[in-house]
A and B are shown apart, each in its own frame.
Chain A
Amino acid sequence: MSKKRIVASLLFIAGGAAVILICTFFGAADVTIKDTLMILVNKTFGGFSEQVEALGSKATIIWSLRFPRSLLAFLTGGALAVCGGVYQAIFKNPMADPFVLGISSGAAFGATVGIVLSIPVTFLGMNTVSAFAFIGALLSIFFVYNIAKVGRQANTTSLLLCGVAVNQLLTAIISFVMLVASNEMRQIYFWTLGSFSARGWDHVITVLPYIAIGLIVVAVYCRELDIMVMGDETAVRFGVNVERNKRILFLVTSLMMAACVSVSGIIGFVGLVSPHVVRIVIGPVHKRLLPAAFMLGGAMLCICDTIARAVMEAEIPVGIITAIVGAPFFIYLLRARNREVM
């Protein structure tokens, strides 16, 4: 690694930490930024025990409520952005986002079933709704992939079309269920808008392994993603095993997305926009693009979630904020730079 890359990496990490810290600081109960920092240092590394003890319930608010929630929002936002970037490369399509293959509607369908049945089960450390959403997400992508597959190859256009079809179908079924089960309608609707409300350490621990493994695998494929953008045939000519790579990348990103969606619901826009913004600013090379997209997506979602919980009287689903904040910014950027998106 060159010096430049190390400096850039450290800057990224410092920036991410600063965003999480500041977001943790904001909230209904007043905690000074100094106290916030002290509590976090105390819980992570020890020290400042007396001062933290004196803060009483504030320590719990910071450490058990706000901090894990901010961290989860950051991780989820980052994962969404990375998956969006990977899908845009695989599909060579600027409209691709992490949900093109039907993960979102699959998860929503699973969650709907979970909410309506409300049987108390836990699965891989998830509650009923999350567990159903997780399974729903994976089933939908499994269906999409296998319908689109001809022989051992999955054509990207048919994958996209199958994704659209499955999305439409499941959305229709969810709407039907919402009409029939009108008692649960509000709960289902809120789930589909996405939220980090009442999410804590359990959720962080649930998604962390999927995200960590996913990011490591994606990192290994960065150079091949650059080449795959050139088109499948060109990539094969450069010695890239395109079909195998697609399978591996679909697998890890699907697991990552299924885990994220199952704990947070469907949060749109972050996965679509973050990679684009980064591409406009620093170019399309994935070894730079994906880490930057992770940081941007993470920061964006973390800040939006803080707005969602701290600004209005009643909490707003974060998915609404991401779109309201993200869309105008994206349009501004497109206009200002007046360049091609891709």
Chain B
Amino acid sequence: MEPILTFDGVTAGYGEKDILKDFSCSVGQGEFVSLIGPNGSGKSTLIHTVTGVVPLKSGRITLDGKDNDRLSHMERARMVAVVPQNFTPSFGFRAKEIVAMGRHPYLKRLQSESEEDYRIIDRAMEQTGTLHLRERKITELSGGERQRIIISAALAQTPKVLILDEPTNHLDIQYTLEIMELMRRLNREEGITIFAVLHDINMAARFSDRIVVLNGGKKTADGPVGEIIREEVLKPVYRIDLVTRENSLTASPEIVALRSNREAERKLNGRRVHVICGGGSGSRIIEGFYNQGWQVSCGVLSSGDSDYNLARSLGLEIVEEKPYSPVSDKACEVNLAAACRADAVVLADVDIGMSNLRNVTVLNDVAGPEIVILRENAGDYTGGRADEVISNLVASGRARKVSGKEMKEMMKGN
């Protein structure tokens, strides 16, 4: 693939401060590359270096083999078009007048647009589906329409590379999808190279070929979507707890952001709790105890279960079993050991069937820790065997039933 936009050891910033540090990256002809990274990582600055708004301190940017520094404003505007974050013009220009501005880099002073220019302007509006808006005033258009007009103006520049600077930042989900789908169509059908700064990691994963990750002004990863949308790549950059999974509906990997990473500031209270849960019944309980500083373990969970994913994202100790398999002897033993190590064992409001009945019967063997049982809506699909165990435990005083509210009190240590 012919490189069209190349950053070679680019260092740039405002005043003394370097925002971008030794950034190198190459975008090939016809590629759809996304640039992601947290706020302040230097994404916008990177775009400003291409447009020449921020000068380079060292390094080089080449556009189609030409040194970007040596290009005039006009020459550069013929090669690169940038779609800005938001665009709120206060003067009531008509849509066609805004799109016509895209032809400016091709016109001499006092020269009017030619037939050819008008053809290009119309085509640009056709591509974005805005031809019917041509006589409308930009101030009267919706956010999505306005963004499509500014994209048309960028297309009218007939650029080699289209750079998007968080093009959907101020748009709602409908317009965001509309714009991203338009970008993919332009890329696939018209062969336009796209270099997009995106806030939304899932949009980047869904629409681009390749993702570049920027953090603290440095490139921390660069590769095909599948290699970047991984917990080990993204977790340290965004400092949040997240899980990645394949979204079968969009046929692309995606992240689920769980919570900001509080591991560092969480104060442990020195107590342990073992949560017996599954199917999402444990999520609030796990999170509640975790947040109050308990050391939490859970079991027995099928791998891939939602409680399992949550526990894994928090880095908890998990007693694990294969999906759709009954709790094995081995898992049961580990579960019992984990329960006995804890100060308290919680049986969550989980449905009990034959495959996880041992998660309940194990409580008979737990000696030492306080056993707390939350039963509100969950069903017993074992012909009453689970309920019998629970009743006996409660009757003998070895366990107590609590409400959700009492559980919360317990988390706080009361």
Contact = CB atoms under 8 A, between A and B. Distances in A.
B151 interface: no
Contacts of A224: 104
A339 B82 CA distance: 31
Nearest to B106: A239
Contacts of B368: none
B337 interface: no
Contact of B90 (A226, A339, A342): A342
A227 B93 CA distance: 10
Interface of B: 51-53, 72-78, 81-82, 84, 87, 89-94, 97-98, 101-102, 104-105, 107, 109-110, 139, 153-154, 157
A279 to B, nearest CB: 7
A150 B139 CA distance: 33
Interface in A223-239: 223-224, 226-227, 229-230, 233-234, 236-239
Residue among A94, A224, A236 facing the most chain B CB atoms (10 A cut-off)? A236
A240 B104 contact: yes
Contact of A227 (B51, B81, B101): B101
A239 B93 contact: no
Contact of A283 (B89, B93, B107): B93
A241 B73 contact: yes
Interface in A278-315: 279, 283-285
Interface in A211-254: 219-220, 223-224, 226-227, 229-230, 233-234, 236-241
A340 B77 contact: no
B95 to A, nearest CB: 12
A199 interface: no
Nearest to A224: B104
Contacts of B74: 239
A221 B291 CA distance: 62
B110 A220 contact: yes
B135 to A, nearest CB: 11
Contacts of B154: 237
B82 A226 contact: no
A238 B105 CA distance: 6
A181 B209 CA distance: 77
B93 A285 contact: yes
Contacts of B102: 238
A92 interface: yes
A239 B157 CA distance: 10
A233 B90 contact: no
Contacts of B107: 223
Interface residues of A, number: 25
Q: Sorted from nearest, which 6 A-B pairs have the closest CB atoms? A: A239-B77, A239-B105, A284-B91, A239-B74, A237-B82, A342-B90
A240 B53 CA distance: 12
A285 B154 CA distance: 19
Contacts of A284: 91-93
A229 B101 CA distance: 11
A285 B75 CA distance: 24
A53 B82 CA distance: 69
Contacts of A279: 91-92
A342 B157 CA distance: 26
A236 B90 contact: no
Contacts of B51: 233, 236-237
A239 B89 contact: no
Contacts of B97: 226, 285
Nearest to A242: B73
B12 to A, nearest CB: 15
A226 B77 CA distance: 16
23 contacts: A92-B90, A94-B90, A223-B104, A224-B104, A227-B104, A229-B89, A230-B87, A230-B98, A233-B53, A236-B51, A236-B52, A236-B53, A237-B77, A238-B153, A239-B73, A239-B75, A239-B77, A239-B105, A240-B73, A240-B104, A241-B72, A339-B92, A340-B90
Contacts of B98: 230
A233 B105 contact: no
Interface in A183-230: 219-220, 223-224, 226-227, 229-230
Interface in A43-98: 92, 94
Nearest to A219: B110
B146 to A, nearest CB: 12
A59 to B, nearest CB: 42
B151 to A, nearest CB: 12
Given A230-B87, A241-B72, A342-B90, 4 more contacts: A236-B73, A239-B77, A284-B92, A285-B93
A230 B154 CA distance: 13
Contacts of B81: 237
